[in-house]
């Protein structure tokens, strides 16, 4: 990813500035999160906050790793060539081996790289343990934020934006339990997606109920007090994964790749579509509204849950795997769930 690097840095620093403006200080937890997210020191974060903005990367640092590349790096035990080959086989545009190798050297610490390539057997064993442990529906849910590579017109304003989806998936059956789409992910979006995941709605199938455990990363939206309160209120347990351990929530990471391959291609405003010599996109012209994107995504989730076969489920769809599991569901009434829902599909 090239163009979004500076924008991402500015977004993170702006969040710190907003916090400082509201409360007069920036909590240490938030500073550490920003440093970890941007892979810089806390001193650098403090300097950027004081200046009001981060500087762009130097010319030699123009390539920024995507989350998918980081996931594959850990899955393939630090094999950069293997990462590149896998991405090429899936039709992605990737840089040279040297550029990719330098990006991993720059963006991952020495300890993270060593953990990836020195612990291959350990990773295999850990993945096997996770697969053995997660046997039943609602035993473990995985959650994540994903920026969608499509430009849409938001409800307020006319400038196209790339929206984010917050999504929950059942690790045993691969069913998409709940989701929320917004311009930027917030704690309220996490609560909205979690709320929709809990409620059993016959119109979208038999999916729902209270999970025993939810896995997500250390993003501030997931770790907020409001989200923690909702999870505890319904009697579930949340477990953040350690930094750069995407294999611990590999089901939702795989779903993210499936979205990129099956849902986004061909949509109006798809950012990764083929381009003409003048840089314009082939295919459908114009931009969708946020409402249109939400409607299309809802249709895609329905098809994915009801009809999409999975090799890891012996060819079953999430619906078939769900219905084959006779473990009783812990049901909860919608009125018993605290909710804060700003997302377009919840209005």
Longest distance between any two alpha carbons in the chain, whole Å: 58
- Give the CATH number, domain containing residue 335: 3.30.420.10
Cβ 345 vs Cβ 238: under 8 Å: no
Model pLDDT for residues 251-304, shown as the tens digit of each residue: 888 898 899 889 998 888 888 766 556 655 555 556 889 999 999 999 999 999
| b/e per residue 317-340 (b: at least 16 CB within 10 A) | bbbbbbeebeeeeeebeeeebebb
Please report whether residue 291 resides in a domain. yes
| Residue keyed to tokens 């012996």 | 314
Binning pLDDT at 50, 70 and 90, where does residue 245 land? low
Name the residue range of residue 182's domain: 136-346
The predicted pLDDT at position 12 comes to: 79
Q: Which of 124, 151, 172 is the last residue of a domain?
A: 124
Number of domains in the chain: 2
Please report whether residue 299 resides in a domain. yes
Please report whether residue 129 resides in a domain. no
* More confident of the two residues 94 and 7: 94
Do 319 and 193 have their domain in common? Answer: yes
Over residues 81-109, the mean pLDDT reads 81
* Count of beta carbons in the 10 Å neighbourhood of residue 101: 15
Do 164 and 113 have their domain in common? Answer: no
3-state secondary structure of 152: strand
Do 99 and 144 have their domain in common? Answer: no
Please report whether residue 100 resides in a domain. yes
The predicted pLDDT at position 174 comes to: 95
| b/e per residue 141-174 (b: at least 16 CB within 10 A) | bbbbbbbbbbbbbeeeeeeebbbbbbbbbbbbbb
Do 208 and 246 have their domain in common? Answer: yes
Q: Which of 124, 147, 162 is the last residue of a domain?
A: 124
The predicted pLDDT at position 129 comes to: 41
Do 108 and 177 have their domain in common? Answer: no
Model pLDDT for residues 2-51, shown as the tens digit of each residue: 334 556 677 778 888 878 877 778 888 788 888 877 767 788 888 888 88
The predicted pLDDT at position 128 comes to: 42
Please report whether residue 59 resides in a domain. yes
Statement: the pTM of the whole predicted model exceeds 0.75:
no
Do 308 and 170 have their domain in common? Answer: yes
Do 88 and 147 have their domain in common? Answer: no
Residues, the chain, total?
347
| b/e per residue 266-303 (b: at least 16 CB within 10 A) | ebbbbbebeeeeeeebeeeeebbebeebbeebeebbee
Least Cα distance to 269 among 110, 191, 137, 161 occurs for 161
Least Cα distance to 256 among 167, 154, 129 occurs for 167
Do 11 and 74 have their domain in common? Answer: yes
The predicted pLDDT at position 279 comes to: 58
Model pLDDT for residues 170-191, shown as the tens digit of each residue: 999 999 999 999 999 999 999 9
Do 191 and 313 have their domain in common? Answer: yes
Alpha helices (H) along the chain: 4-23, 28-38, 42-51, 67-75, 80-89, 97-107, 110-118, 120-133, 187-198, 220-223, 225-233, 250-258, 290-307, 318-324
Model pLDDT for residues 96-145, shown as the tens digit of each residue: 877 888 888 877 766 567 667 655 444 444 444 444 457 899 999 999 99
Do 202 and 278 have their domain in common? Answer: yes
Please report whether residue 273 resides in a domain. yes
Please report whether residue 305 resides in a domain. yes
Report how far apart, in Å, the C-alpha atoms of 335 and of each of 86, 215, 329, 339 are: 46, 25, 18, 9
Do 182 and 64 have their domain in common? Answer: no
Do 149 and 235 have their domain in common? Answer: yes
The predicted pLDDT at position 241 comes to: 77
Whether the pLDDT of residue 56 is over 90: the answer is no
Q: Across all residues in the chain, what is the average pLDDT?
A: 80
Whether the pLDDT of residue 199 is over 70: the answer is yes
Q: Which of 124, 146, 172 is the last residue of a domain?
A: 124
């Amino acid at each position: 990813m090239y163009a979004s690097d500076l924008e991402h840095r500015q977004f993170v620093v702006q969040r710190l500035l907003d916090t400082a403006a509201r409360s007069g200080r920036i909590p240490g937890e938030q500073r550490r999160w920003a440093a970890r997210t941007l892979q810089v020191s806390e001193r650098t974060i403090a300097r950027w906050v004081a200046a009001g903005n981060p500087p762009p990367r130097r010319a030699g640092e123009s390539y920024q790793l995507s989350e998918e590349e980081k996931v594959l790096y850990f899955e393939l035990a630090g094999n950069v060539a293997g990462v590149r080959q896998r991405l090429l086989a899936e039709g992605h545009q990737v840089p040279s081996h040297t550029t990719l190798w330098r990006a991993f050297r720059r963006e991952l610490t020495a300890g993270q790289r060593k953990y990836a390539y020195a612990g291959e057997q350990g990773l295999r064993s850990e993945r096997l343990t996770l697969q053995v442990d997660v046997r039943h529906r609602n035993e473990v849910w995985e959650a994540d934020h994903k920026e969608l590579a499509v430009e849409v017109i938001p409800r307020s304003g006319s400038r196209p934006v790339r929206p984010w989806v917050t999504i929950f998936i059942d690790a045993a059956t691969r069913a998409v339990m709940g989701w929320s789409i917004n311009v930027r992910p917030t704690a309220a979006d996490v609560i909205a997606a979690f709320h929709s995941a809990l409620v059993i709605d016959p119109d979208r199938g038999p999916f729902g109920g209270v999970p025993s455990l939810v896995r997500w990363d250390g993003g501030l939206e997931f770790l907020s007090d409001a989200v923690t309160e909702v999870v505890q209120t319904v009697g579930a347990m949340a477990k953040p994964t350690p930094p750069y351990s995407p294999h611990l929530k590999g089901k939702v990471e795989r779903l993210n790749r499936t979205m990129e391959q099956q849902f986004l291609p061909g949509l109006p405003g798809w950012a990764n579509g083929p381009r003409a010599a003048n840089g314009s996109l082939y295919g459908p012209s114009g931009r969708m509204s946020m409402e249109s994107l939400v409607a299309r995504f809802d249709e895609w989730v329905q098809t994915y849950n009801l009809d999409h076969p999975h090799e890891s489920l012996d060819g079953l769809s999430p619906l078939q795997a769900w219905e084959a599991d006779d473990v009783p569901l812990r049901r909860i009434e919608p009125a018993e769930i605290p909710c804060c829902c700003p997302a377009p599909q919840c209005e």
